[in-house]
Amino acid sequence: MDRWIGRFAPQLRALEELATHDGHMTRAAETLGIPQSSMSRRIHALQKALGVRLILHDGRTVRLTPAAVQLAERIRDPLRELEATLDTVAGEADPDHGAVRFGFPLTMGTGQIPTLIAEFHRRAPGIRLAVKQAHGSELTADLAAGTLDVAVVIPPPDTVRHTVIGTQPIRVVLPADHRLASRRRLRLDELRTEAFIANPTSYDLRQATETWCNAAGFRPQIAVEITEFATIRELIGRGLGIALLPHHERRTPHTTEIPLTPDTYRREIALAWGPTAVTPACRRLLDFLRRGFR
């Protein structure tokens, strides 16, 4: 064990991170907090010591050989477990410090979660949060892979541990001068002739939109497809269409939100955690978020 761990721990960690970033040296180096030159030296040192070709250069990125992919997959879990164990030991000695990799949905970039992040930082300034926003399937995959510790996820994931902590109401967002903009509530079937702006089909909200509209007796006509929720609202304000979106506390200019009837168009919000969420810092954030969503 001394022969391998003592010599190659930094190099193995570099290879694992390079595989996570699909051969992108710069991004892998940034994640590790080292210069790209150091990253490259670690990979080449490991390659030379093992006597096995690990990378092939392909423009600005590198491709991992089958041997490198196999090695990265086999060392990923042991390295994560070792890192979590060391963090736990260090954290038990100093429970007010540490780091937590935290993720939350693209639809929750304003309002409750930013408020909770700010309050948590005020209460635990020694705990560093590395924050990521992404859609639910990506957050779930990151939790399972150990690249995130804790995440708020919509919808609740099937593959990682979680608890449901709330629901997210869905509203119709219309241009402010739309013919239905003065209504207090709308039925979904009243929107059957409208042009919709929606996320790509891989997004949960796009799938929910199609499911809800089909149940209301029509197929939504998608005029524009885009990933960014803020841009969807901007395009609505410019008259390009309407959308079913989560309630937003800050109104985008030239748009209006109208509740749907019946009040059943909601998505469950889950607090989820991966196998690395064993440190006192992670447990402290989990407990704080559970209380904050009550």
Q: Sorting pLDDT into bands at 50, 70 and 90, what band is 94?
A: low
b/e code 133-172 from CB counts within 10 Å (16+ = b): ebbbebbbebbeebbbbbbbbbbbbeebebeebeebebbb
pLDDT of 144 higher than 50: yes
**Half-sphere exposure at residue 50, Cβ-oriented, CA atoms within 13 angstroms:** 18
Q: Which residue has the higher pLDDT, 11 or 154?
A: 154
Tens of pLDDT, residue by residue over 22-50, are: 888 888 888 888 888 888 888 888 888 88
* Under 8 Å between Cβ of 220 and 198: yes
State the fold for domain 90-165+268-293.
D-Maltodextrin-Binding Protein; domain 2 (3.40.190)
Tens of pLDDT, residue by residue over 223-278, are: 999 998 999 999 999 999 999 999 887 888 999 999 999 999 999 999 999 988 98
What's residue 89's pLDDT?
60
Q: How many helices (H) does the chain have, and how many strands (E)?
A: 9, 11
Q: Can you give the residue ranges of every domain in the chain?
A: 4-77, 90-165+268-293, 169-265
* Under 8 Å between Cβ of 281 and 127: yes
Radius of gyration of the chain (CA): 23
What's residue 173's pLDDT?
98
Tens of pLDDT, residue by residue over 114-137, are: 999 999 999 999 999 999 999 888
Q: Sorting pLDDT into bands at 50, 70 and 90, what band is 86?
A: low
What's residue 1's pLDDT?
39
Closest by Cα among 78, 87, 76 to 145: 76
Question: Do 90-165+268-293 and 4-77 fall under one CATH topology?
Answer: no
* Averaged pLDDT of the chain: 88
Q: For the chain, give the number of residues.
A: 294
- What is the CATH code for 4-77? 1.10.10.10
- What is the CATH code for 169-265? 3.40.190.10
